[in-house]
């Protein structure tokens, strides 16, 4: 038999007990805070929460890792400008202001940060305003290696372009599309062909095949394609027709550019003016032929009387 006190205790602690609304709200807030903090810590990027005045109120472990700045030195102590490169600060300030004023500003962009431990670093940034607030969540991903590699490649390309532009001829690249459209031509193309770079590239002017003299075009293209089929380089000498309608002899050396799968994707080569050499060669051949003809005439039995100044003779010794 239960006492009244026992019944009261069971009633207070039994399954029908209703929790306080205040307690429910507090529990819900704690759960939300734990969930938010867990997501915040595991974004996979360095992430910060910035207030209206750009003070950093929260920073995750990823942010510590990429900047070398402990959270204890960052949270409620530093502003975004304190570690952003001076040349990028005004741009980021305008983005932050624009988000608060509902202006069209980029969500994704790049900036540089300065770290006491790592020095200058390049970052890919994503920044978004938290709905209904003036706070922003800003995530950083270190892309320094990618940017440095891209810059090194650009410098290398600039040096290579400068070198090719100073060669006494035209370096070129055309895509394998059946149209022989030039994708690249060095600055020397103007001296060689009379066409400027912008006239030859981008499908705006004559193709590689169009430059070749019509009398030799089929032979040259057949030679080139035959070499490409067996993945060998080629050398050809032929005539071109310049923008002014003149003819020039050129010498060309080239080869195929292949994908990792072994597919031919382009043809690259170098063409130089060979006119002077060709004219010298033709003159030498002409003179050689003339001398050969004269020599044969002198050796011919039908040569007749040979005269040397005032001497005339037909005898065998004289011959």
Instruction: Write out pLDDT tens, residues 68-84.
Output: 888 889 999 999 888 89
What is the C-alpha to C-alpha distance for residues 265 and 228, in angstroms, rounded to an integer? 11
Q: Highest-confidence range of 11-15, 39-43, 115-119, 300-304, by mean pLDDT?
A: 115-119
Average pLDDT of every residue of the chain? 82
Is residue 206 pLDDT above 80, yes or no? Answer: yes
Q: What is the mean pLDDT of residues 262-281?
A: 87
Residue 30 is predicted with a pLDDT of: 56
Per residue in 121-156, pLDDT (tens digit) is 999 999 998 888 888 999 999 999 999 898 888 888
Q: Which of 19-23, 175-179, 243-247, 281-285 has the lowest mean pLDDT?
A: 19-23
pLDDT grade for 45, boundaries at 50, 70 and 90: confident
pLDDT given for residue 29 in this prediction: 56
Q: What is the C-alpha to C-alpha distance for residues 191 and 240, in angstroms, rounded to an integer?
A: 13
pLDDT at 289: 78
Res 192: pLDDT = 92
pLDDT at 170 over 60: yes
Higher pLDDT, 128 or 291: 128
What is the mean predicted confidence (pLDDT) over 222-229? Answer: 94
- Within 10 A of 238 (CB to CB), how many other CB atoms are there? 20
Asked whether the predicted pLDDT for residue 118 surpasses 90, the reply is no
CA atoms within 13 A on the CB side of 86: 0
Is pLDDT of 252 > 90? yes
234 pLDDT above the threshold of 50: yes
With a cut of 90, say whether residue 280 has pLDDT above it. no
pLDDT band at 268 (very low <50, low <70, confident <90, very high): very high
Q: Are 173 and 150 in contact (CB under 8 A)?
A: no
User: Is the pLDDT confidence value at 111 over 60?
Assistant: yes
Report d(CA 270, CA 253) in Å as an integer.
6
Q: List the end-to-end C-alpha distance of the chain, in Å, as a whole number.
A: 161
Decide which of 299 and 176 is more confident: 176
Q: What percent of the chain has pLDDT over 70?
A: 79
**pLDDT given at position 2:** 39
What is the value of pTM for the model shown? 0.50
pLDDT of residue 301: 57
Q: Residue 70 and residue 77: Cα distance in Å, rounded?
A: 11
The answer, yes or no, to whether residue 176 has pLDDT greater than 60, is yes
Per-residue pLDDT at 317 exceeds 80: no
Lowest mean pLDDT among 172-186, 218-232, 277-291: 277-291
């Amino acid at each position: 038999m239960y006492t009244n006190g026992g019944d009261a205790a069971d009633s207070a602690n039994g399954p029908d007990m209703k929790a306080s609304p205040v307690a429910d709200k507090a529990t819900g807030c704690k759960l939300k805070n734990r969930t938010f903090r867990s997501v915040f810590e595991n974004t996979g990027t360095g992430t910060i929460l910035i207030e209206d005045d750009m003070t950093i109120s929260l920073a995750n472990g990823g942010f510590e890792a990429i900047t070398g700045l402990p959270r204890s030195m960052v949270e409620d102590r530093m502003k975004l400008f304190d570690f952003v490169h001076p040349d990028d600060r005004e741009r980021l300030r305008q983005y932050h202001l624009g988000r608060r004023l509902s202006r069209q500003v980029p969500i994704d962009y790049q900036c540089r940060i300065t770290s006491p431990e790592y020095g200058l670093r390049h970052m890919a940034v994503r920044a978004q305003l938290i709905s209904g607030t003036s706070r922003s969540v800003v995530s950083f991903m270190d892309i320094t290696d990618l940017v440095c590699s891209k810059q090194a490649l650009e410098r290398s390309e600039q040096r290579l372009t400068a070198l090719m532009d100073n060669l006494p001829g035209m370096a070129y690249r055309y895509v394998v599309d059946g149209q022989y459209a030039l994708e690249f031509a060095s600055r020397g193309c103007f001296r060689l062909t009379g066409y400027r770079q912008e006239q030859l590239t981008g499908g705006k002017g004559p193709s590689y095949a169009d430059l070749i003299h019509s009398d030799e075009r089929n032979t040259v293209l057949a030679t080139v394609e035959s070499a490409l089929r067996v993945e060998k380089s080629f050398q050809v000498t032929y005539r071109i027709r310049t923008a002014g309608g003149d003819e020039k002899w050129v010498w060309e050396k080239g080869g195929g550019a292949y994908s990792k799968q072994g597919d031919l994707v382009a043809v690259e080569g170098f063409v130089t003016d060979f006119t002077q050499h060709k004219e010298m060669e033709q003159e030498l051949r002409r003179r050689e032929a003339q001398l050969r003809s004269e020599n044969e005439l002198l050796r011919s039995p039908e040569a007749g009387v040979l005269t040397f100044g005032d001497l005339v003779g037909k005898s065998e010794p004289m011959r």
